[in-house]
Structure 1
Amino acid sequence: MNVPYTVDITPRTAGWAYTSLRILTLPPGRGHAFDARDSEWIVLPLSGSCTVETDGQTFELRGRDSVFTAVTDFAYVPRDAHATLTAPAGGRFALAGARCERVLPARYGPARGVPVELRGRGTCSRQVNNFAAAGVFACDRLIAVEVLTPGGNWSSYPPHKHDEHHPGEESELEEIYYFEIAGGEAGFGYQRVTPSHPAGTDVLAEVRTGDAVLIPDGWHGPSIAAPGHDMYYLNVMAGPGAEREWLIRDHPDHAWIRGTWPGQPVDPRLPLYTSDGEEGR
């Protein structure tokens, strides 16, 4: 029997063209089936393990206890396929999607194959799990990574947008940030978004576990983790460009911040963990 999504963002509900994100919480012994339709999807365990059956193949995802404990394996579901998830012990799972044209093969993504990168320096230090970054895992349009920010640090900083090669043209990536905050119900953080259009209004949103922020265009960042509360966000994006590219461009008022990093150390709390299952602290 299918279970409702706790987050259900589609091109139709977001008012854009490509990017989707669904969060699924499965009680023990329950399953969920979905049709990929015109989109490619990645099934990513947030907590717990599951079995994914799609396109005549079966993938056993070992998963993890939580997003703050380990890199996870994942499964790719092609456009036009049907998929079924089962989780005997229950769990929470992200379905990251993008409308696409090509039909690629269903595949398993092992946790040990996920590059773990440390970005920034000092209080801008963060960890990026590049499980479906461009150049790492083949998709048609979908780009997805996980970002972990120690409490008190800023991520997605300097503020940036994704139109490096074609500023002002229809090349920006539609982007979703899905958040989880350590510390239970008390955990919180903040996300800032500045629209591209002069008539737009800056947004500074308080975010807690289960919240999602949509970024159709414009400058975004920082993502601010409150002291004492590590922040996780799943970053899902796709766009109209012919090439699957990150296209990052820093805000001109704040780009100088990168020049201050070479003289600073990476936050010693990072990495929180590595792709081989070792804790970083």
Structure 2
Amino acid sequence: MKDLKHPSSWKYSSSIDEGFFEVVTPENSACKLTWVFRLNLKKGKSYSLSDKKLELNGVVIKGSVSIRHSSGERGLDKFDSFYLPAKDQLTIMAKDDCSLFFGGSLYERRGEYFVREYDLSIPLGGIHQIHGTPPFSREVFMTVSEKDVASRLICGITVGEPGAWTSWPPHQHTLDLEEAYCYFDIPDRSSVLHCCSRQPGKIEFVHPASAGDCVIVPEGYHPTVGIPGVKSCYFWVMAAHSSQSRRYDLAVNDPIY
């Protein structure tokens, strides 16, 4: 039987078929608070989105859509995103063949609907950030920042440099936050390497990850690196164990490195 707690079980593939799919849930993974979903729509099709218990952060990873909410209708292009609290509802309409990833966690009556345009011209600060230094620097854009009003989620998009590490030096936030990495824009027949370790200074398991793959981080260290010429690109979803740990500054670096 598959041991969900072992890092070898932490990679999940998402479907490219049309429809809405569960990717990661507490029922099929070692995560207790993290959900990941994927939606694929053909041009002209629509999907009504709502959940009774989860807050959701949806990010367009392919194509463009129009979303209709009680507050109004607007278009979203690639990497634009929205936050939807539980029991709220919106309709997603595909302007092109499109795909979206969703991160979810338990909603606790904190958080209201908002839309965020992906805009790298925003000055560096709370939403747009550069982490690390060359040769392992990466660009980060927060789709749900710790300053945004939400219950448990902090989410964002990370794009690394070709063939370079992200999340280096290795860090962990086991006591405070779970995480999932949802990979996109990895060229065909290419991959990035997602390393998993529950012990300092040790790599326990390495997952080759391609576009559409999701690797969870229920605990431990989790650096990634692109193979030569390939950028490590992913939508990351963090779910806090408590309202007090819904913070982005709790990472503990691996003391060996």
What TM bracket, shorter-length normalisation?
A: 0.7 to 0.9
Counterpart CA distance in 1 for 2:73 and 2:226 is 34
Counterpart CA distance in 2 for 1:24 and 1:85 is 10
Counterpart CA distance in 1 for 2:203 and 2:117 is 41
Counterpart CA distance in 1 for 2:238 and 2:130 is 20
Which residue of 215, 218, 221 corresponds with 1:219? 221
Aligned residue identity for 1:60: R
Paired position in structure 1 for 2:116: 109
Deviations 1:137-185 (A, max 9, x none): 321110101110121110111111115xxxxxxx331110111244x31
Aligned residue identity for 1:239: A
Counterpart CA distance in 2 for 1:187 and 1:6 is 24
Counterpart CA distance in 1 for 2:216 and 2:21 is 16
Paired position in structure 2 for 1:146: 157
Structure having the higher helix fraction is 1
1:91 equivalenced with 2:98 (yes/no): yes
1:238 equivalenced with 2:235 (yes/no): no
Paired position in structure 1 for 2:13: none
Q: Is the 8 A contact 1:175 1:237 kept in 2?
A: yes
Aligned residue identity for 1:178: C
Paired position in structure 2 for 1:125: 137
Counterpart CA distance in 2 for 1:148 and 1:186 is 19
Counting matched residue pairs gives 233
Q: CA RMSD in A?
A: 2.4
Paired position in structure 2 for 1:176: 180
Displacement of 1:91: 0.8
Counterpart CA distance in 2 for 1:201 and 1:130 is 28
Paired position in structure 2 for 1:78: 85
1:35 equivalenced with 2:39 (yes/no): no
SS in 2 for 1:186: coil
**What pairs up with 1:181-200 in 2 under 5 angstroms?**
181-182=185-186, 184-195=187-198
Displacement of 1:15: 4.1
Which structure 1 segments of 5+ residues have no match?
65-71, 164-170, 255-281
SS in 2 for 1:185: coil
Paired position in structure 2 for 1:60: 74
Q: Is the 8 A contact 2:64 2:98 kept in 1?
A: yes
Deviations 1:48-94 (A, max 9, x none): 2212234x233423313xxxxxxx33222111223321113221111
Q: What is the TM-score normalised by the length of structure 1? A: 0.75
Shift of the 79–196 alpha-carbon distance from structure 1 to 2, 3 Å rule, reads farther
Counterpart CA distance in 2 for 1:107 and 1:145 is 15
Q: Is the 8 A contact 2:110 2:150 kept in 1?
A: no
Which residue of 208, 211, 217 corresponds with 2:210? 208
Shift of the 86–127 alpha-carbon distance from structure 1 to 2, 3 Å rule, reads same
Counterpart CA distance in 2 for 1:181 and 1:75 is 20
Which structure 2 segments of 5+ residues have no match?
1-16
Displacement of 1:134: 1.1
Displacement of 1:29: 1.1
Deviations 1:88-107 (A, max 9, x none): 32211111211121143222
Counterpart CA distance in 1 for 2:24 and 2:232 is 21
Aligned residue identity for 1:191: H
Query: Identity of counterpart residues, as a percentage?
Result: 21
Displacement of 1:229: 1.4
SS in 2 for 1:33: strand
Paired position in structure 2 for 1:100: 107
Q: What is the TM-score normalised by the length of structure 2? A: 0.82
